[in-house]
Every structure is written in C-alpha cells, then in structure tokens.
Structure 1
Amino acid sequence: MYVFKHAADLKAYLDNARTAGKSIGFVPTMGALHEGHLQLVTTALEHTDLVVCSIFVNPTQFNDPKDFEKYPITVEADTAKLTDAGCHVLFLPSVAEMYPEGLAGGPHYDFGYLETLLEGAHRPGHFQGVGRIVHKLLQLVMPDQLFMGQKDFQQCMIVKRLLEITGLPAQLVICPTKREADGLAMSSRNVRLSPTERAGATLIYKVLSYITEHHAEADYAPLIAEATRRLEAGGFVPDYVAIADAETLQPIFHPTSGKQVALVAAKLGDVRLIDNMVY
C-alpha cells in the first residue's frame, strides 16, 4: 500500500493511474478504523481497480471542540488494517495540507433544509464542515465511485447533495451499516465507552427495532415518545428520535407506502452515538 501525505504527490500518482485506464474507488474516513470501514474498502475493491482511503480528522466539522480533542487517533493500527484489507493507497494529510487557506471562512454550500434538522439542528455548522472537506478530497482524488456507510444516513444525503451542487462526477455508493453481534452499530466512538456503557449501548439498536416493528401504527407520536422513554430509562440523553422519509429525510408522522428511516442520536455518558434503520 502506498502512503501519501501531500496532495500534489497523491494527485500525480492518481493521474498516472487514470491515464492507464484504472477506475478509482474512494473511502474517506477520520481513522480509528473498524470492520465497518474495512467493509467499505472491500466493497470498493470489488467495484473499482484502485482503492484510495483517506484518514483525516476534519476540524471544521466539529461544533464541539472537546469532541474534536477526544476523537481517537490510531494511525499505526489503521495503516496495518488497511494493508491487510488490500487497500492500494492511503492519504494521510495534515490540517495545513488540507487547509492551506486556514480554517476560517470557506465556501457556503446550499444544503437547504437537510442541514436544519436532526444532526444539523443539534450540530450547527457541522455539515458545512463536512461539505468543505469532502469537496476538497473529491477534487483531489476525482474518484469514479465514492463509498460511504449508511450509519451516517444524513451525511450521505448531504454528500449526495454536494455532488449535485458541484457537478463532480463521482457515483455515491451507500453501504449497509456494519454491526456488532449484539446489534450495536460499529463506530469509532465505541472505543470511548466504558464496559458498562458498552453493554447498555445496544439499547439504541433495540429501540430502532421496536420502531420498525410498530411502524404500521396510525400515529407515530406515541411510538416516538415510547422509544425516547426507553432510551432515557437506559441512561441515555436523547438528542432526537425521529421517523422520516428515506428519500427526502422529511419528518413523517403517519404510515406511508414509501421507504422510511428511523433515526436516533443520544448521549451515553460523554459519548454521542447515532444510528438508523431503513424499512
């Protein structure tokens, strides 16, 4: 696996690969890699000739500085995992490399209502930071296909909108959420859970399953209220429990014929977890 720390070197390498007719798959990450990330790499290997993974903890998408400071950094272990997974290229830039213009300012992306609800409502500015770094990375890598996980459902919709705004030709491939045996969605944040918290964290999965099992009920308000109550009883502090249209993310309050998604964000101790289930 080739490791690049400078954008110019990566671009030169990928330009040569593209000239040789190779298709490029891209998996952007913030490191602290788990099996969910590695599954994205495996899927990319199945669909493209050359797979690029980036590891960059992006400061502009953290609205809480403490969350940024606590984000786990495990570059050595991550590099070994990517090598074993068969990844071809790792891009490992510094903040100065990605933001030579500085962190302040930057373009504003018109994500519309998508950044006003759920994660957008609870993490102001978060999706502008996501858009800014993903735009930079896509311009650099210019992949044929971009692979992301469904666990970050709203982020996937933001990136889809970003591709529409920028006109960049990458095809977004959304892969199923990878889960632990007990149902907990794999997340880099899980390593911050204490053993007791880790045991209780599966309640999010159980609550999502409860919602999907009862989604035919006429009124979703009691369903959401009960799901919220169960989380609170289990020690969580919920930011939101919501049911939305899986295509638009508009809130839904009664059963419909189309695909729906149940979404949860909640804190357990000082660790904020998110998950969703499409049905």
Structure 2
Amino acid sequence: MKIISTVRNLQEELKGSAFTPVGFVPTMGALHEGHLSLVKNAAGKCSLVIVSIYVNPTQFNDKEDLKNYPRPLKKDLSLLGGVLRQNDIVFTPDDKEMYPSEDRRAFSFGSLVNVMEALHRPGHFNGVALIVSRFFEIIDPDIAFFGLKDFQQVAIIKELIRQYKYKVRIEVNPIIREPDGLAMSSRNVLLEPRHRKNAPVIYRTISEAPALLRKDDIPDVRNHIIKAIEKIAGFRVEYFEIVDDRKLIPVNSKKQTGKGKRYYGCIAVRAGNIRLIDNIEIPLA
C-alpha cells in the first residue's frame, strides 16, 4: 500500500491511475474490525481502494472529545497493511491539507437534522458534510463505504450526494459487534473497565424492542428500554427513537407507520464519560 499525506500528491497519483472503480473508506483512525470489514468489502468490489485517516475537528462539538480521541497511527497502518493491496492508498492529511482556508459552508438537511445525534451534538453533521464533501471533491470516488452504526450520518451523506450531484454510490455495511454484542467503536477502548463490562446491556435491551412492540406501543417500549439501561450505575440514555430510514422522522405510535418503509430503533447512551450509539432494524410496516 502507498501512504500519501498531501492533496497534491494524492491527486497526481490518481491522475495517472488506470484502476477503476475507485473505492473510498473514510475513517478517523483508531481502527477496529468494523473499519476493516469496510476496507475488505471495498477491496472486493474496487480495483483501487483509498482509506483516509483524519480526525476531523469540524465535526466535534466537544473540544475534550476531540482532544481525547485516540490516534494510534502506527497500529492503524499495520492493520491496513494486512488487508490493502500494493497499489491501494492510505491518505493521512493534516488540518492544513483538508482546510487550507476556512470553510464556512452551512448545509441544510431538513428533517434529517431535527432528531437524535443532531440535537445532542450541535454542528456535528455540518462538520461531517464539510469533510465528506471535501474528500469527494479531492478523490472523486466511484463507491464510498460507510457503516450502519452511524445510521443518521449515512442518511445525511446520501442527501449530501443528492444535493451536490456527486457521482458516487454509497455502500452501507452492517454493524460489526464484539462477541458480547457491543457495537464496535473506536471509543470502546476509552470505557472504564466496569462500564465496558456492562456495555452489552445496550444492544441486549434494544433487541427486545421488536417483541415488546407486538403487545405494547412505542412510548411504553421506549420507557422500558430507558429504565432497563439506566438501572446500570453510570449509564444514562440520551435518546431512544424509532425513525424511518428516509427522513428520520420519529414514530410515536404504531398507527403512524406506513407500508414500504423501514424503521430503525436508534439509541445513544452515556457510559460514564463515553458516548455510545447503536441501532437495530425494527419490523413495523
């Protein structure tokens, strides 16, 4: 694999490349099996794969979160060396490369930013849109690969592509989990041991939702899930919402569901100081 850190060198490399299609896997590093599954999927479908490692400051609304975000670059490169091919590229830019001048664009995503992560992390998705659009313009990939764990982010990137008419197709990989069910995340390594031990309660509890919804309505199920998780010392639920996968409009009654739509139960939990998200598909329509 080739390691490139400047936009100029990357574009020169791509300009002379005959490899097609080009696959792109954006990451912020601290790689785990979830990331590697995206890379392997990309390698299976694309002649050239570009993996970015860049901790994007504009998507952090919490400066401490940005400061504490893990950056094990040597380990990340070693992991990628085991799955990438000779001509594949790891792009490791710094802030000056990605933001040579201040980017003040403000995006409008309608109902997609009226719920869940957007409410609890103001400005987060504008920062995501800034960096993803920048990557798309630099790389011009044919296919971009994302994980379903970031459910709301995927919906927003699809809308970004629609608005800006980027010629890129999105591939969404299923959530990769630890053996105990916890969704893999770069933040898992930051959990206190006692919180890591109890963290599987999140997936275990939301997995009860489909069965509970056969007899109870959504508000009762939401309350059950929140109470079950918050019984664990140090755990606080920020939200549990059931939304459709298109406009992310929260559903508060089974009567509001419609045929032809897919629904997901999405949750965010504070385990001590670490924030964890997860989701499952819920058959309602």
State the TM-score bracket (shorter-chain normalisation). Answer: over 0.9
Name the stretch that deviates more: 26-35 or 198-207.
Answer: 198-207
Check conservation: 2:19, 2:47, Cα contact below 8 A.
no
How far, CA to CA, are the matches of 1:135 and 1:168 in structure 2? Answer: 9
Q: Tell me the CA shift for residue 207 of structure 1.
A: 1.5
1:1-279 equivalent positions in 2, closer than 5 A = 1-17=1-17, 20-86=18-84, 88-102=88-102, 105-235=103-233, 236-255=235-254, 256=257, 257=259, 258-279=261-282
SS of structure 2 residue aligned to 1:130? helix
Check conservation: 2:111, 2:247, Cα contact below 8 A.
no
Deviations 1:1-29 (A, max 9, x none): 10000001101111222xx2521000000
How far, CA to CA, are the matches of 1:214 and 1:14 in structure 2? Answer: 51
Check conservation: 2:143, 2:168, Cα contact below 8 A.
yes
How far, CA to CA, are the matches of 2:123 and 2:4 in structure 1? Answer: 29
How far, CA to CA, are the matches of 2:232 and 2:203 in structure 1? Answer: 12
SS of structure 2 residue aligned to 1:191? helix
Deviations 1:38-82 (A, max 9, x none): 000000011111010000000000001011011001100000101
What is the TM-score when the length of structure 1 is the normalising length? 0.96
How far, CA to CA, are the matches of 2:225 and 2:277 in structure 1? Answer: 14
> Residue type of the partner of 1:142?
D
Q: Tell me the CA shift for residue 267 of structure 1.
A: 0.4
Deviations 1:85-131 (A, max 9, x none): 125110000011111103xx521111112112100011110000000
How far, CA to CA, are the matches of 1:27 and 1:89 in structure 2? Answer: 10
Q: Identity of paired residues, percent?
A: 39
How far, CA to CA, are the matches of 1:142 and 1:123 in structure 2? Answer: 28
Check conservation: 1:218, 1:254, Cα contact below 8 A.
no
How far, CA to CA, are the matches of 1:216 and 1:93 in structure 2? Answer: 49
Total equivalences in the alignment: 275
SS of structure 2 residue aligned to 1:278? strand
> Residue type of the partner of 2:26?
P
Note the residue ranges of structure 2 that are not aligned, 5 or more in a row. Answer: none
Check conservation: 1:212, 1:262, Cα contact below 8 A.
no
Check conservation: 2:111, 2:248, Cα contact below 8 A.
no
> Residue type of the partner of 2:270?
K
> Residue type of the partner of 2:280?
M
The RMSD of aligned alpha carbons is 1.2
How far, CA to CA, are the matches of 2:26 and 2:263 in structure 1? Answer: 26
Check conservation: 1:61, 1:129, Cα contact below 8 A.
yes
> Residue type of the partner of 2:97?
E
> Residue type of the partner of 1:278?
E
Deviations 1:240-260 (A, max 9, x none): 011111232111123334321
> Residue type of the partner of 2:40?
T
